[in-house]
Structure 1
Amino acid sequence: MSRQPLQLAVLIGSVREGRFGPTVGNWFVRLARERTDLIVDVVDLAESALPMVLPAFGAEAAPEAVRALQDLSPRLSAADAFVVVTPEYNHSFPASLKNAIDWHHRQWHAKPVAFVSYGGVSGGLRAVEALRPVFAELHAVTIRDTVSFQNAWQQFDADGTPRQPDECGAAAKTLLDQLTWWGHALREAKATTPYVA
């Protein structure tokens, strides 16, 4: 049975100056775009300009937030699945990522979320573990297997190519295989029975 490709949104979670996220994210996106079962959209949060102050419940968002959401929200809504590329800041994930998550709700419902992390000795895995309950609260399904880069700045050459491409490429394939399985399963389930949160 032929299936339509999944729409995959890859979120680059760091917005700090001198960030390493695009190096990791671009490598992953290159691999994902080699697959015929995925259509990849790169969502760089450094370009979204979402305000850090959310409106009160029931209140309208400020005009600058509305403009940012008009760009970001439809892209998240269109996605069948997500990959979050995150660093680890102080044993957790960056505020920019939590802010983007909190500005949205239904966009995450009944969709799979996978993680590519990077950092120092932990490889960003503490950020991933902190993100799992956040996405569970938003009715998303997180993928068990991750791709992580310990001491990430030493793991890539000047061209943004991993120094051990076979090892991390195999991990990325496992992640994407699991993500696409869940993406198709959840998309087909929602087509039969709309998800109720």
Structure 2
Amino acid sequence: MAKPVLRIVIGSTRPGRIGPSVATWIAERAREHGGFDVQVTDLAELNLPLYDEPNHPRLRQYVNQHTKDWSALAGASDAFIFVTPEYNHGFNAALKNAIDYLYHEWHHKAAGIVSYGGVSAGTRATQMLKQVLTALKVMPVPEAVNIPFVFQHLDEDKRFKSTELIDASAVAMLDELQRWTESLATLRAKNK
């Protein structure tokens, strides 16, 4: 039996970002976990313009190839992990834009959140993101990975170096994400 597809979405798109480093780390933890077929999507590479579809996404009448490509990636996913920085007490605009492009593709899927920042560890971004996700019938699992003072966790090559506590929070999130992904499978099947 095929494993459910876990799509890790790198939310940051700015030059000099550290999102890919954090995403590489959580992708490695997810592969070690073994419950998912892990795939990574970098919004900087996806390069979605500011929402430019003429029709509401609930209609699935996409006209642009970039939207069709994004729809196929999200639609083929069974669960998500959003890797997000915190910008001004919220999550960043590129991630919100990518979420707003789609509608049905999100339904009945579970999501984990890995946030990073300074003293707040991205927790305010996490709380805002959860509100948006629940409006799209996504189940954000309560367990999350919040990384405080993220720059202190980077080596000289900007690779993310975890701690025992951060690793433990990743395992807890992945365990719960797997439970919810399995539990929502029937609803996802009805949505196809």
Task: Give TM-score, length-normalised by structure 2.
Answer: 0.90
- Residue 181 of structure 1 aligns with an amino acid whose one-letter code is R
Deviation beyond 3 Å, 4+ runs, structure 1: 55-62, 188-191
Match of 1:187 among 178, 185, 188: 185
Counterpart in 1 of 2:91? 93
Displacement of 1:130 in angstroms is: 0.5
| 8 A contact 1:157–1:163 mirrored in 2 | no
Counterpart in 1 of 2:80? 82
Counterpart in 1 of 2:125? 127
- How far apart, CA to CA, are the structure 2 residues paired with 1:99 and 1:53? 6
Change (3 A) 1:25 1:52: same
- How far apart, CA to CA, are the structure 2 residues paired with 1:84 and 1:55? 23
Counterpart in 1 of 2:161? 162
Q: SS at the partner of 1:34?
A: helix
**CA RMSD of superposed structures (Å):** 2.0
Cα displacement string for residues 20-61 of structure 1 (whole angstroms, at most 9, x for unaligned residues): 101111111111112332101101000112110433446976
Q: What pairs up with 1:16-55 in 2 under 5 angstroms?
A: 16-55=14-53
- Residue 156 of structure 2 aligns with an amino acid whose one-letter code is A
- How far apart, CA to CA, are the structure 2 residues paired with 1:190 and 1:92? 29
Displacement of 1:163 in angstroms is: 4.8
Structure 2: runs of 5+ lacking an equivalent = none
Match of 1:143 among 134, 141, 146: 141
| 8 A contact 2:33–2:171 mirrored in 1 | no
- Residue 144 of structure 2 aligns with an amino acid whose one-letter code is T
Q: SS at the partner of 2:75?
A: helix
Displacement of 1:161 in angstroms is: 4.2
- How far apart, CA to CA, are the structure 2 residues paired with 1:170 and 1:102? 32
- How far apart, CA to CA, are the structure 2 residues paired with 1:190 and 1:14? 28
- Residue 118 of structure 2 aligns with an amino acid whose one-letter code is G
| 8 A contact 1:87–1:124 mirrored in 2 | yes
Match of 1:174 among 172, 175, 184: 172
- How far apart, CA to CA, are the structure 1 residues paired with 2:137 and 2:55? 20
- How far apart, CA to CA, are the structure 2 residues paired with 1:163 and 1:43? 21
| 8 A contact 2:116–2:122 mirrored in 1 | yes
Q: SS at the partner of 1:33?
A: helix
Structure 1: runs of 5+ lacking an equivalent = none
Task: Give TM-score, length-normalised by structure 1.
Answer: 0.88
Query: Does residue 115 of structure 2 align to residue 107 of structure 1?
Result: no
Displacement of 1:182 in angstroms is: 0.2
Displacement of 1:72 in angstroms is: 1.9
